[in-house]
Amino acid sequence: MKVIEKDTLIGKRIAKLDAPEKASGKTRYVHDLDLPGQLYGRILRSTRVHARIRRIDVSKARALPGVHAVLTAADVPYQRPLGVGKDQLPLKGDKVRSRRDEIAAVAADSEEIAAAALALIEVEYEDLPPLTDPAEALKPGAPVIHDENLPPPAAHEALKPGAPGDAEAHRHNVAMTFDYAQGDVAVGEAESDIVVDDWFRLHYVTHCCMGVSGIIAEFGPSGNLTLYSNTQVPFLHKREFAEILGMDPGRIRIIQPPIGGGFGSKLDIYPFEPICVFLAKATDRPVKLVFSREEEFVASPTRQPVLLRLRSGAKKDGTLTFRTCETLHDNGAYTSWGATTPFVMMQTISSLYRVPHCKYHTTAVYTNNPYAGSFRGYGNLQATFAVEQHMDKLAAALGLDPLEMRLKNAQDPGETTPQGMQFKTCGLKDCLTTAAAASHWREKHHAAIAAQKTPGRLKRGVGMASMLHVGGGAKIYPSDGCGTILKIDDFAHLTLMTGASEIGQGSETVLAQLVCEELGLPLDAVTVVNNDTDITPWDVGVHASRTTFIGGNSAIGAARKAKTKILAAAAKLTGLPEVELELRGGHIVRAATGEALMSLAKLLRSLHFSDKAELVMTTNYYEPPSHHQDKEFKGDVSAAYAWATQVVEVEVDTETGVVRLVKVTAAHDVGRVLNRLGIEGQIEGGIVMGQGYAITEELIVEDGVVRNPGFRDYKLVTAPEIPEMDIHFIETMDGEGPQGAKGVGEAPAICMAAATANAICNATGVRIYELPFTPEKVYRALHRAKAPGGTG
Amino acid sequence: MSLKREIAFVLNGVRTRATVPVEMSALAMLREVVGLTGTKYACGEGECGACTIIVDGLSTCSCLMFAVDCEDRDLTTIEGLARDPLGEKLERAFVECGAVQCGFCTPGIVVQAKHWLEAHPHPTRAEIQRGIEGNLCRCTGYVKIVDAIEMASRNDA
Ligand code: FES
Ligand code: FES
């Protein structure tokens, strides 16, 4: 008798399915694809930050041999506004509002010819007064960035929370506003024994995906459009392309080749994408348009720069009383997702800890700067930077231990916050105590305070920060669902067609794992198809750390349906009741003993080649049990929430201002670990991305011009600079999560800047409210603090 | 449009000829003329290491090298490591250690690691970190990349 023991894939260290081909250089990214007859597209961008276009002369470019098309706004009268704010046309005809603005595009036989053609295009500008300081944007008499009458936006079903400003708002350079309140902050303030009030300044950083942006557009003989695109939201994209191009969405197919990094950058539609389609249409040839790295720095989105004022109060015993938060978001010239980060920011303000009274306001203003998109963490890095510094500051002012202060105000499972978020599982307290214990936080914290006044060039310190983030999707659109189609062939090989895109985060592997777990199959029995809108069912997209949770539940549902079918058939064949049967190791087994009764492949064939011939194919659509927020931004927007605490240990060189990250101890409530290898990788990568945000990275934008569009001057963290990492998982087994898991993709980047700020303060006694902590900034802050009358 | 030259070199052990514009980079030649796309462009100015290849035994940013300078040289790209024992070991270690996320930086790092391990067969982790400091990775935080190189450096791997 062959016995198959029960085994599980959950929690194991599982190599990514796509890793072998990536490690051997065989993976074809969009940059590596070429279609027969393909032309090369290039875009001419504005050389001014704010100007009227007086004249564009493309005649010389058109005359260049090898040039197939030169397009300006005048050549595409059918173009429609795009993006979250619908406040820009792909090709700008009247006016440019930032240095990235697209003025003309060329399709040519080669990149070189396309570049040569761009150089032949003559543009005459009439400069307008530039507006590059967001604070100036609201002043009366400020230049108006959007004074145009854009064609009316086409009907758009996606809910536009914190709806984009209308023409009247644009007159005042207001792109969006957000207001949220709970309780009465005046009451909270009256109850406070201590109030702290500070301004925080958050800078520009950008995604720096190693694979630059690119797209290939091709029209087929029947006029159908195929796009090879790196988008993270293929189905929303399809719809948007249809609107912009005035096409039937059914005639648009999006194929997603593997992507060289996403991190939120590919969540909106950007002008280069429809421009490439215009070129393909004009030439009736496939057109490939790929950015240079410099172009990627200049013309892809940034993280949202924010000026933030936070007022927080507490009672003597450390109980939080109120918070007011006002932010000024520099929207840049156009509105993308960056303007909507208040959604997430207000959750941290209102619900990371229990705060009875809260008030939140954001104004996002137009300037002539680059515009911000979504970026891993989505506003939460900025909000957490302020909130967690205030937790330390309040604790210090009250003479309390910062850990105790946090534990006192931390959320518990079962709580519903005034904003309406329901924490069915919540591991915050465990995260706090685990990270503190593992990092020896208490001893180090006190030792550092004692050492602050002692002489010595190198100062060590520890700082902690916690975070709350959606971990079960986010109901921003009418549906937050994901579809799955599953088929099993005659040889028990399974094809999983899922709407959930793989962007390097490892979702493909986790989904395969979840399905195999249900069906008792080895991982190599699965092919995942996740990259073609003509095949895969709808999904809202890769954002909000949702893919494992939503795509996972969808896949599990489809697998369970298949299992039911299989077991019913097996029961008939074996004469045993279904409950006594199980699927293990590719076999039907007796549940109690593990005795293998028949191979799954054999069962499937007998089902297929019977007189009632049947194949096992199932479909499932999973919609999480979350809710849209109401007009006041209240509602349980996610099916689960993720928590984390990170403790950062730094060494500050007080003579140079250099901050070295020594160690990061991270405790994350991830619901449950599905793939240990994958989740560690997500967290390590997030920590280092957070380290870059805190210490090394800054996109320097001066007078609307990006001054450091290259890796030479935009400093990414390199291998020798990473801290030691000690990662702990808090498994709260979320009831709604797939096998108990919650989303984790964004979480690890969120706490780093805040924890680093607290660590620097612990080491030196000096608190810095502005990022990044470059040597110069830290040095100046330390010296200001030492100078008579200086503030810290 | 531009002036072209025919050159000959050894690519992954195979004698190869290519006709290239004089201003073309070795990276562009590999990707566009020869058609080997495992070597990646991510900056074009020697800052990221995605385009790393081995030229006459030295690891080189192919984006900074003219194609015509490949004349008479011996080039190894990621595609050539499939049949190299250390290269193969590295690739396996990268997979097993979870060192690959989006994978865009991976070929360059594998090539760099192969070159570097040959000169430093018994490295410490800190040495490995230095050995790949010229390679940027935006996804992994480098920990698992170092794990993989360490694993490949062990004889039992
Ligand atoms: S592409 Fe050559 S170093 Fe970046
Ligand atoms: S794995 Fe994505 S850049 Fe390294």
SS (H, E, C) A94-143: CEECCCCCEEEEEEECCHHHHHHHHHCCEEEEEECCCCCCHHHHCCCCCC
Annotation: CATH topology of A306-474+629-783: Aldehyde Oxidoreductase; domain 4 (3.30.365)
Residues of B in contact with A720 (CB under 8 A): 126, 129-130, 133
Q: What DSSP character marks residue A700? A: -
Per-residue pLDDT reduced to its tens digit, B74-111: 999 999 999 999 999 999 999 999 999 999 999 999 99
Do B10 and B75 sit in the same domain of this protein?
yes
Total number of domains in chain B = 2
Distances (CA, A) of A241 to A119, A269, A344, A373, A677: 29, 8, 27, 18, 37
Last-in-domain residue among B63, B79, B95: B79
Provide the 10 A C-beta neighbour count for residue A619: 15
State whether residue A725 sits within 8 Å of chain B by CB.
yes
Residues of A in contact with B79 (CB under 8 A): 24-25
CB contact under 8 A, A688 and B39: no
CA of A713 to the centre of ligand 2 (A): 20
pLDDT of residue B157: 53
pLDDT of residue A251: 96
Among protein residues, the one whose CA lies closest to atom 2 of ligand 2: B102
Q: Give the length of chain B.
A: 157
- The alpha carbon of residue B128 is apart from the nearest alpha carbon of chain A, in Å, by 9
SS3 A746: coil
Q: Which helix (H) or strand (E) holds A532?
A: none
Q: What DSSP character marks residue A418? A: T
Q: Hey, what are A281's tokens? A: 């249409």
Helix ranges restricted to H, A339-379 = 342-351
pLDDT of residue A117: 98
Confidence of residue B136 (pLDDT cuts 50, 70, 90): very high
CATH number of the domain bearing residue B88: 1.10.150.120
Nearest CA in chain B to A206: B138
Question: What φ, ψ does residue A413 adopt, rounded to 5°?
Answer: -60, 145
Among protein residues, the one whose CA lies closest to atom 4 of ligand 2: B137
CA distance A760 to A755: 9
Q: What DSSP character marks residue A324? A: E
Residues of A in contact with B128 (CB under 8 A): 719
* Ligand 1 atom closest to Cα of residue A711: 4
pLDDT of residue A543: 86
Do B62 and B95 sit in the same domain of this protein?
no
Report pTM: 0.96
Give residues 279 to 298 of A whose Cβ lies within 8 Å of B: 292-293
Residues of A in contact with B145 (CB under 8 A): 719
Question: Could you give the ipTM of this predicted complex?
Answer: 0.98
Do B65 and B94 sit in the same domain of this protein?
no
Query: Amino acid identity, residue A493?
Result: H
Do B88 and B122 sit in the same domain of this protein?
yes
Do B8 and B75 sit in the same domain of this protein?
yes
Q: What DSSP character marks residue A249? A: G
Do B71 and B91 sit in the same domain of this protein?
no
Do B90 and B149 sit in the same domain of this protein?
yes
SS3 B100: coil
CA of A686 to the centre of ligand 1 (A): 23
Do residues A510 and A674 touch, judged by C-beta distance below 8 A? yes
Distances (CA, A) of A741 to A15, A219, A544, A584, B130: 19, 42, 15, 23, 36
Nearest CA in chain B to A27: B38
Q: Which of A16, A208, A210, A266 to mutate to test the pocket of ligand 2 (most atoms within 8 A of CB)?
A: A210
pLDDT of residue A167: 76
- DSSP of A552-570: HHHHHHHHHHHHHHHHHHH
- The alpha carbon of residue B35 is apart from the nearest alpha carbon of chain A, in Å, by 9
- The alpha carbon of residue B71 is apart from the nearest alpha carbon of chain A, in Å, by 23
A350 Cβ partners below 8 Å, 6+ apart?
Answer: A180, A182, A323, A358, A360, A417, A418, A419
Give residues 32 to 61 of B whose Cβ lies within 8 Å of A: 36-45, 47-48, 50
Domain A19-25+481-622 has CATH 3.30.365.10: yes
Residues of B in contact with A712 (CB under 8 A): 45, 47
CB-neighbour burial class of residue B126 (10 A; exposed 0-12, middle 13-18, buried 19+): exposed
Do residues A398 and A766 touch, judged by C-beta distance below 8 A? no
Domain that holds residue B39: 4-79
Do B66 and B126 sit in the same domain of this protein?
no
Do B135 and B72 sit in the same domain of this protein?
no
* Ligand 1 atom closest to Cα of residue B43: 4
Q: Hey, what are A184's tokens? A: 């009465």
Do B48 and B109 sit in the same domain of this protein?
no
Do B48 and B95 sit in the same domain of this protein?
no
SS3 A353: strand
Provide the 10 A C-beta neighbour count for residue A345: 29
State whether residue B153 sits within 8 Å of chain A by CB.
no
pLDDT of residue A504: 77
Last-in-domain residue among B50, B79, B108: B79
How big is the A-B interface in CB pairs under 8 Å?
Answer: 182
Do B44 and B93 sit in the same domain of this protein?
no
CB contact under 8 A, B81 and A24: yes
CA distance B89 to A343: 47
Residues of B in contact with A292 (CB under 8 A): 44
Residues of chain A with pLDDT under 50: 150-161, 790-792
Nearest CA in chain B to A748: B141
In chain A, list all ranges with CATH 3.30.365.10: 19-25+481-622, 306-474+629-783
Question: What φ, ψ does residue A124 adopt, rounded to 5°?
Answer: -110, 125
Do residues A102 and A92 touch, judged by C-beta distance below 8 A? yes
CA neighbor of A402 nearest in space, from A431, A441, A450: A441
Do residues A138 and A365 touch, judged by C-beta distance below 8 A? yes
CA distance A637 to A640: 9
pLDDT of residue A788: 61
CA neighbor of B78 nearest in space, from A25, A22, A18, A32: A25
